[in-house]
Each structure stands twice: as C-alpha cells, then as structure tokens.
Amino acid sequence: MSVMNARSSAPARSAGRPPSLGGNVSAWSNRHRKWLFAAPAMIFVGVLIVFPLVWTLYLSLTDSQGSVRAATDFIGLQNYLTVLSDTERFWPAVGRTMTFTGVALVCEVVLGMGIALLLWRPFRGEKWVRVAILLPLVATPVAVGMMWRLIFDPNIGFANQLLGMIGIPPQPWLSGQDTALGTTIFMDVWQWTPMVVLILLAGLTSLSDEPDEAARVDGANSFQRFFYITLPLMMPTVIVAILLRGIDALKTFDILYATKGKGGGSFNEVETLNVYAYGLSFDYNQYGLSSAVLILFFMIIIGSMWLLTMRKKAVSK
Amino acid sequence: MKRRSVVKYAAVAAALSLGLTACTGGGGSSDAKESGTVRVTLANHVWTEGIKAAIPEFEKSSGLKVELTQLGEDQLSDQYNVKLNAGSDEIDVMMYRPLQEGKAFAKNGYLADLTDKVSSDSTWDWKDYQEGPVKATTADGKVVGVPIITEREVLYYRKDLLQAAGLEVPKTMEELEAAAKAIKASNPDTAGFVARTGKSAAVTQFSSFLYSFGGDFTDSSGKSSVNSDAAKKAYAYYGGLIKNYGPANVSTDMSWPEAMAIFTQGKAAFYTEADSLYKNATDPAKSKVADTVGFAPLPAGPAGSKPYNIPSWGLAVNEASSNQDNAWKFIQWATSKDRTLAAQKAGVPGPRSSVWSNAEGTSTYPKDLADAIAVSAKNGVGHDRPEVVTVGKAREIVGEPIVASITGADASAAADSAHDAFQKFLDSEKK
C-alpha cells in the first residue's frame, strides 16, 4: 500500500511528460480507494433506505392523495396532528401493535427458552426433533396464514371439529371480534418460536459448564441453577433474541393480511400500525397521512430498539 | 475538509441512485416506439382463462407478441397503484373495475382516451354495447375503457331443500325470509341463507337489497341517504337474514369465495350473489350441489326487484404506454363479437346486445339462470357501490351498518353514524 501511495502522491515526478489517462484514473482510484470499495454498499443504502425514508418524510408533510404525481401543498405538521388526534383508528392500532408484539414476544421467549433447555443436552433422536421444530420457520408467512385460516374456519375448519370430538362447543377463532387478535398471536408464536429457540440454543451451547458444576457440587437444585446461574449468564443472548424478534413482530403484516384482509377485518380487529398505514396508502390513497403514520411507526421502532440496546449494555457489564 | 468530501460523495451517491431509478423506471425505453410486444395485465377470472387460451390466434393474425401478467383482485389493484402512480409504461392493456377504480384512474389521468378508436371500426361496432356498461367506462364525455363482463345479482338456491320443505321459489323478501327460516328449522346443520359478510365485500351484494327496499347510497342531490327509512330497513333485513338463518359462528370477513364455499359445500339453502360466478356452483368439480342448484331473480322488496346490473370489468389502455395503437389492437380483438360470444358461452355474461339477442349466447346457461338474467337486465340499477373517487373508503363507511346488523347490534344507530361519516366523506371529495 505504501508503495502505491508513494506513486500516486507524486504525479509530477517524471520530467515534463504529462501522465497518461490510464495513469490518472488509477492514481485517482488509489487516492480514493476507501470510498471506491464502499461505494456499492453506499449506493445500495442510498437507493433502498435513505431515499425512500426521506421521500416518506417529505410526503408526510404534504397533502398528497389520489395520485403521487398530483400537485400537492406543503401543510407542515397537519398530518401528524390529524393522526395523533385520531382515536378511532390510529390509537387503537398502536394499542394492538403493542399487544401483539408484547404477548407474542413473552410467549415466544418463554417457550423458546423451555425448548432450548430441552434440546441443550444430547439425547436420542435429537436430529429429528430439531428438524420438526424448525419446520414452521421455513414456511412462507402468507401460506401459514392461509393454512391456519382453513384450520380455524368456524364452519368447515379442522380446529372446531377437533373441539367437537372432545365435547367443546365451536369457537369463532379468527372471526370473533375478541378472539381474532389472540388467534393471530398464536399463529405468530407457532411460526417464530423456532427462531428464538435457535438463538437461545446457540447461547446455551457457548456457556461454560464450570459455574453450573460448581453450583451442583454446592447442592443447588435444577431450579436454582437455572435462575441463579444459567439465566443471568444467558441474559445478553435473551436480549438479542428479544431485539431481533421484537422488531419483526412490530412490523408483522403478512400473517395479518393473509388471515383478515384489508383493514384487519370488518371491525378492524387485527389492524396494527402496519396494516393501517397500508390501508391508508393502497385503499384510501391518502399518501400524506399514510406517510405520517409510517414515520411515527418508524420512531416507535427506533425508540424500542434503543431502549433494548441500552438494557443489553447494562446486562453485559 | 474531510466533512466536505463526505458530503460530496453522498451527493454523488444520491445522484447515481436517482440515475439508477430513472433507468429502471423507464422499463425498456429503448423500444419505446410502438413495440411489437403488448404487455397485458389481467385479473384471475373465467374470462381471462378463455382469452389466455385464444391468445396464440391473435399473435398469429396480428404478428404481435403478448406478454401476459395475471393477478388476484387485491394484488391487481395494488400493482396498478404502484405502477400507474410511478407513471410506468410497463403496462399497455389493463383489466380494471370501472365502478371501483374507474373514477380515480380517470381523475389521475391514468387511462388513455379511446373515443376515436371505438368509433373507428363499424364491424367491431361500439353501438352494440349496452348503455349502462358504456356509461360506466365513460369519464367526462370521453370513452376510457371497453366493458368485458357484466353482472347482476341473482338468487342461488337448492332445489332439493325447497322440494323437501314443500316450498315455492321465493318471489318476495318476506317469502325468502320465511323459506330460510323453515329450512333452517328442519335442517339444523344447514343455514337457511348465506351471503357476503365482510364490511367492504358485502356492500355490492347488499346494494340490490337497498334498491329493492327503495333506498340508495346517495339521494338525487348527491347527499348521503344511508340513514333513510328504506336503507335502515334494508340493513336490518340483510343482516337479520344472516344473523338469524345464516351459518353458525358466521364470520364477518366473508367475500364471495368464502360465502360460495359454504353454499357449494351444501351448507346453505339460499345465497344471493353475482350471476357471473354461477360456474362455481354448477361445476361438479367445484361444487357438491352442482345438480340441485337453481337460479331465480332477486326477490322483490317494497320497491320491487331491483338488482344491480353493472359492468364489473373492462379493458383500458395505460395513458403512459408508448404502445397505445397495438394495445388497442389487442382490445379490439379481445372484445370482438366472436370473442364475446365465446366468452359468454363459457359462462361469462358480456356487455354486447347482439350476443344476448342471439340464441347461441345463452345456449350454455341453465335455463332458469338465463331467464333470471333477462329479468334483472330489465329492472337493473347501473351501480352496485357508491359512485365516488375513493371507493375503497366509501365502501367501508356504508358497509359498517351491514356488519353491525349481522352481529346483532342496532342497525338503525349504525346507519345514523354511517350517514354522518359518509356525508363528511362526500364533502371532502367535493373539495
């Protein structure tokens, strides 16, 4: 590298002869190589992340509707005021987003921890068990939604037939105003717990055995060993799992859309922020309002990520 | 010094990225001059299946190549939203719903003016098209689309269940309710009546009930009238039929595929739905009750039998397409008298008068269905949803009382609050 630098920083070394074009290009690229290597990634980020974000921010400050190409007026924060004072659709959607994410996360982490502990120690047939547990993970969420929708159909679904066999009356599942959100949470837990298992299992297998053995020698029972040894040591991994899964759960769209369609059902019973913003854009063509919702949503995600990262730092110390 | 170069590079990256999007957005602008490939986007429909099979004929006779994209209804409308908004020329011919997207597309200037083209060919014969459908594909006096499929709401019923109960085919709303009640009472596992229940999906099928009770979504001055006495009665009746005689645990998200499934699984006696979907009920491969399905005109309410009679789909040319003449050639072929007759024989009711007056046009239909269609075409109303720009939102507003009524809530109160919301919506569209 230093050789190259020496060459490129002395372009006028040779007496009188102007450097060739090729020499110029290579000299230029040498001087700027750190930028050149980063350029593809920067362009990618610029095109696919920064530009859409800035554009959304701009749209959220205009009264854009009907067509993005139609003339718009700059209306400042009016959209944000409209959205934040909307107690009919926006705030309930925030509530549902939080409920969905919170309940799904707790179930997934608790279940995931349990399953990971079961798989931690080698046993016969563990290969098959692992494959079986990972199956939901490889299915497409939309297909998963369709599948459960058939199973939970109130009239011809398998779930109610099964309940009928053991004498329980049929349940409305996805079609009930009060049960729909719970049912979609169940689907999310069914599909994504395996991912949490994977992360936690990786964390478990990297723990050293000594503290656990020392505690065993001191006569600690398995509960004490888990709560006082394993769990504290696992905390950073648990937070990573919560972080990854949490961001995904906040943004869930496919399962909800595949099971309840636009608007999250006739009573908006599973309308989360993402589904709401989608409806504002694609169904109502109110791009300004929709962008405002998305920007607020983006802030919520960034905020929750920041809180969790802070927590992780505190735990890791 | 350092900072400035960062800014400079960021600017370059941004300029490059814009350049890139400009290139990809152009969509093969190199062959912008009337390309020999016509890019056609169609919805999943019986009509589409027929056209798809015949496309090689068109390619041979015209020397053009057809590139076909086929999508479900919701995906189709999302695709249009994205591509037409971006001013993309990647679509030449588009299948669209004149009553759903027509006004919005025309307002946004997405649809090419076809006025000269439709009147240029007397053998193709634009005058042959029924008046209602033509009105729906005309915007501000310009023809912007060619109707391809028409539908009317008819009553699907089970002959065997009626016979077993010793009942006649219901001719009025009261008779329909009495028959649904009687059949449900004697067959606990069978619903007396099923229909769409989703807030937005049900609006079109509910509209015929609304008209038959003497109501409409708006009055003659364009003001909301969803809280009129007639409308309130219609809401209560439609919802009541489903609540009292519908399937147990009825879902409030049903569109036609779900409602049709209940009927074709043999779990319901009566079902009101668009006639263009009849094949789903009469095709033994799809329906357990194929041999006992009967059809009748919509039973009469206090204002008579007034089903909607509408063009559900049409073909249009994308204004941004650089291939408009070839796009028109495709439409001209796909909507010719012969093709329309072929489609109609395959079970797709069309918009051409000459095909309807031709005995061959209804030769493949069950006789009672053909009769029901003829009656409905006479008494029909030309719209099945509010005639506004943002139809999606309007449907959700006027559909609210339907679901309220199905779930046993107070339909009249729901109609009052829907009226206020709908009037507010109409005022906002006027701005």
The model's pLDDT over A249-272, given as tens digits with 9 standing for 90+, comes to 999 999 999 999 889 999 999 999
Please report which confidence band the pLDDT of residue B25 belongs to, taking 50, 70 and 90 as the band edges.
very low
The beta-carbon neighbor of A261 closest among B253, B262, B393 is B253
* Residue B171: pLDDT over 50: yes
Average pLDDT value for residue range A269-282: 95
Structure tokens at A9: 């920083």
Q: Are A184 and A97 in contact, with CB atoms under 8 Å apart?
A: no
CB atoms under 10 Å from CB of B35, counted, come to 19
**Residue B291 carries which side chain, given as an amino acid letter?**
D
Report the mean per-residue pLDDT for chain A. Answer: 89
Interface contact flag, B14 A46, Cβ < 8 Å: yes
Q: What is the mean pLDDT of chain B?
A: 91
- Per-residue pLDDT at B392 exceeds 50: yes
Q: What is the pLDDT of residue B341?
A: 97
- Taking only the tens place, the pLDDT of each residue in B278-302 is 999 999 999 999 999 999 999 999 9
Choose between B36 and B16: higher pLDDT: B36
Across B87-103, average pLDDT: 95
- How far lies A11's CA from each of A1, A6, B2, in Å? 16, 9, 22
CB-CB under 8 Å, A66 with B247: no
As a whole number, mean pLDDT of residues B319-340 equals 96
- Span A36-58, pLDDT tens digits: 899 999 999 989 999 999 999 99
In this complex, do B267 and A265 lie within 8 Å of one another by their Cβ atoms? no
Q: Is A47 on the interface with B (CB under 8 A)?
A: yes
- Summarize pLDDT for A75-130 with one digit per residue, the tens: 999 999 999 999 999 999 999 999 999 999 999 999 999 999 999 888 888 888 88
Taking an 8 Å cut-off on Cβ atoms, the answer to whether B85 and A69 are in contact is yes
Residue A48 buriedness (CB in 10 A; 0-12 / 13-18 / 19+): exposed
B86/A155 touch (CB, cutoff 8 Å), yes or no: no
pLDDT of residue B14: 43
A residues 244..283 contacting B (CB < 8 A): 260-263, 265-267, 281-283
Q: Is the CB of residue A74 less than 8 Å from the CB of residue A159?
A: no
Contact A60, A291 (CB under 8 A): yes
Q: Do B199 and A263 touch (CB under 8 A)?
A: yes
> Which pTM does this prediction carry?
0.86
pLDDT of B220 over the 50 cut: yes
Confidence of residue B180 (pLDDT cuts 50, 70, 90): very high
Residue B53 touches partner A, C-beta closer than 8 Å: no
Q: Is A21 left (phi over 0), alpha (psi -120 to 50) or beta?
A: alpha
- CB contacts of A35 in chain B (<8 Å) are 9
For residue A286, pLDDT beyond 60: yes
**Predicted pLDDT of residue B13:** 43
Binary contact (A47, B21; C-beta < 8 A): yes
* Residue linked to tokens 């269609």: B373
**A268 to chain B: closest CA residue:** B199
Confidence tier at A156 by pLDDT (50, 70, 90): confident
Question: What number is the average pLDDT over the span B50-67?
Answer: 96
pLDDT at site A4: 45
Q: Which residues of A touch B407 (CB under 8 A)?
A: 177
Nearest to A284 among B14, B393, B403 (CB): B393
Highest averaged pLDDT of the listed ranges A3-12, B27-36, B93-102: B93-102
Whether the pLDDT of residue B28 is over 50: the answer is no
On the question of pLDDT at A5 being above 80, the answer is no
How distant is the Cα of A172 from the closest Cα of chain B, in angstroms? 6
CA distance linking residue B154 with residue B151, whole number of Å: 9
The mean pLDDT of A48-76, rounded to a whole number, is 92
Candidates B107, B255, B265; nearest CB to A66: B107
Q: Which of residues 267-286 of B touch A (CB under 8 A)?
A: 267
Strands B191-194 vs B309-317: parallel, antiparallel or unpaired: unpaired
| pLDDT number for residue A17 | 60
Closest CA to B94 of B257, B330, B407, B299: B330
Please compute the mean of the pLDDT values over residues B373-387 and round it to a whole number. 93
**Average pLDDT of the segment spanning B61-69:** 96
- Cβ A70–B199 below 8 Å, yes or no? no
Residue B304 pairs in a beta bridge with B301
CA distance A251 to A271: 12
Confidence at residue B19, expressed as pLDDT on a 0 to 100 scale:
39
Q: B129 to chain A, minimum CA–CA distance in Å?
A: 30
Least CB-CB distance to A46: which of B17, B200, B396? B17
Contacts A281 to B, Cβ<8 Å: 81
Nearest CA in chain B to A285: B390
The pLDDT assigned to B16 comes to: 41
DSSP character for A175? G
Residue A180, Cβ density class (10 Å: 0-12 exposed, 13-18 middle, ≥19 buried): buried
Task: Please tell me the distance in Å from B353's CA to the nearest CA on chain A.
Answer: 34
Asked whether the beta carbons of residue A283 and residue B107 sit closer than 8 angstroms, the reply is no
- Amino acid sitting at position B366: P
User: Looking at the predicted structure, is the pLDDT value of residue A308 above 90?
Assistant: no
A1 falls in which pLDDT band (50, 70, 90)?
A: very low
Are A156 and B267 an interchain contact pair (Cβ–Cβ within 8 Å)?
yes
How large is the average pLDDT for residues B396-402?
97
Nearest CA in chain A to B20: A47
Residue in A51, A68, A266 closest to B199 by CB: A266
- Tell me the count of A-B CB pairs closer than 8 A: 107
Task: Give percent of chain B with pLDDT exceeding 90.
Answer: 86
Q: What is the pLDDT of residue A19?
A: 60
The pLDDT score that the predictor gives to residue A34 is 86
Instruction: For residue A16, name the pLDDT band (cuts at 50, 70, 90).
Output: low
